[in-house]
Amino acid sequence: MKCRHCASSLEHIFLDLGFAPPSNAYLTQAGLSRPETYFPLRVRVCDNCWLVQTEDYARADELFNADYAYFSSASKGWLTHAANYAQQMIEQLSLDKNSLVVEIASNDGYLLRNFVEKGIPCLGIEPTDSTAQVAMSLGIEVLKEFFGQGLAEELRDTGRQADLIAGNNVYAHVPDINDFTRGLKTALKPSGTITLEFPHLLQLIEQVQFDTIYHEHFSYLSLYTVQRIFASAGLRVFDVQTLTTHGGSLRVFGCHVDDSRDTQKSVAMMLTKEKNAGLQDLDVYLGFQARANALKDELLKFLLEQKKAGHKVVAYGAAAKGNTLLNYAGIKPDLLEFVVDVAPAKQGKYMPGSHIPIQGPETLAKSQPDYVLILPWNIANEVIMQNENLYRSGVRFVTAVPTLKVL
């Protein structure tokens, strides 16, 4: 396999999680009786451009299909994050009725609806029919396609270049990151702005966030690598912000390479931080497997101890990261009775691989568990606040990343 960006040979494995089904391939009752598709889940690191990337096995159209079950609006915290971003961009870029905002991977309209409410023209690009239909019901125009250079040329040729292109947690999801980035340049007005948000590789490594690795994530990104990819497409990163979302993310601001805006000091500062943390040091990557194994073993030990003591443990949040963790650890319903999730699209289904049933959140109080394992640990505070009565009654909430904590 060659690097998806620079085409160098990939000689080094960053993490091997064995075999797993796609993390959002939730099963129906009938599906439990049918064969399940598994793919190798191995991640390599390029020692030339330092792009961390999954091996080539699963295709995007096998992962992001019509029944895709991730709806961004399920998290109230994420909705607030999106609203704040929209207001910031409207003010910073002076967006109005003559502007065009394009969001790639617009999902269920969680972000663009904020621009629509202000009368700013919007276009969503979203290949999964299940989420696109929800966005369209909000009055958002959606192209149900994958984004790349070809679609960008169509937008340009029909006079639909964007003042703002937003991509939240999509850059890591594209198999051809070079084609996608060239598309960003093509679809952007000469004075336009790109913002991309993605989980920061630095946080993944420092916080042992190996459960954020799954087939839908083709790349794991540092600013250093993103800057290189942008430059190869004729784009420039001129600013970067750190975010708390998804366990620690970056928001990069991009423009055409000849744009008059100055590159902010934040870019050099983050590049220095990454270098000092060893993100261009191969040993840092080669030592990650042992750290992930230790975290997995710690969770298994806890669950086995609770089973032996006769305690009931359930989980909260049928998140993709939870599926990575459960499948790598080999956790089944005998250790984790069920998972609750607020998304109706997941309720009544089963977690891929582990076959743990997914129920509505009202089941938590009825079942009287001793422990609740929060699989989307990045929203642990939000989950505890929503279940404050349970917490006060003595139910303990648990997170497994970066170390096992009983909260």
Question: What CATH number is attached to the domain comprising 322?
Answer: 3.40.50.720
Q: What is the pLDDT of residue 66?
A: 47
Q: For residue 72, is pLDDT > 80?
A: no
Distance between CA 348 and CA 369 in Å, rounded?
19
The answer to whether residues 349 and 248 belong to one domain is no
Residue 63 has pLDDT above 80, yes or no: no
Residues 261 and 336 in one domain: no
Same-domain status, 185 and 265: yes
**15-19, 306-310, 364-368: which range is least confident on average?**
364-368
| 383, 305: one domain | yes
- In a domain, residue 48? The reply is no
197 DSSP β-pair partners: 168, 251
Distances, alpha carbon 69 to alpha carbons 17, 74, 343, in Å: 23, 11, 9
Q: Assess whether pLDDT exceeds 60 at residue 61.
A: no
pLDDT at 67 over 60: no
Tell me the residue range of the domain where 242 lies: 72-269
Strand partners, 168: 197
305, 177: one domain: no
Q: With pLDDT > 70 as the criterion, what percentage of the chain qualifies?
A: 95
pLDDT of residue 78: 84
Bridge-based pairing of strands 162-168 and 188-199 is parallel
Across the chain, mean pLDDT equals 94
CA distance 187 to 100: 11
Asked whether residue 147 is assigned to any structural domain, the reply reads yes
Mean pLDDT for the stretch of residues 218-224:
97
The pLDDT of residue 290: 98
Residue 58 pLDDT class (50, 70, 90 cuts): low
Residue 65, pLDDT > 50, answer no
Whether residue 199 has a cis bond before it, omega within 30° of 0: no
Q: What is the CATH number of the domain that holds 164?
A: 3.40.50.150
The single-letter code of the amino acid at 395 is V
Are 252 and 157 part of one and the same domain? yes
pLDDT beyond 70 at 173: yes
Per-residue pLDDT, averaged over 191-217, amounts to: 96
Angle of helix 149-157 relative to helix 177-187, nearest 10 degrees?
Answer: 10
Rounded mean pLDDT, 194-208: 97
pTM of the model: 0.90
Among 56-65, 289-298, 321-330, 398-407, where is mean pLDDT lowest? 56-65
Q: Look at the chain and report how many structural domains it folds into.
A: 2
Query: Of 55-69, 187-201, 213-227, 258-272, which range is least confident?
Result: 55-69
Residue 35: predicted pLDDT: 94
Sheet hosting strand 52-54, strand order edge to edge: 12-20, 39-45, 52-54, 219-220
Strands 358-359 and 339-340: parallel
Q: Does 39 map to a domain?
A: no
Per DSSP, which regions of 332-374 are E strands? 339-340, 358-359, 371-374
Find where tokens 């396999």 sit. 1
Average of per-residue pLDDT across 121-135: 93
Q: Are 29 and 21 in contact (CB under 8 A)?
A: no
Tens digits of per-residue pLDDT, 296-344? Answer: 999 999 999 999 999 999 999 999 999 999 999 999 999 999 999 998 9
Instruction: Give the residue from 234, 269, 304 where a domain finishes.
Output: 269
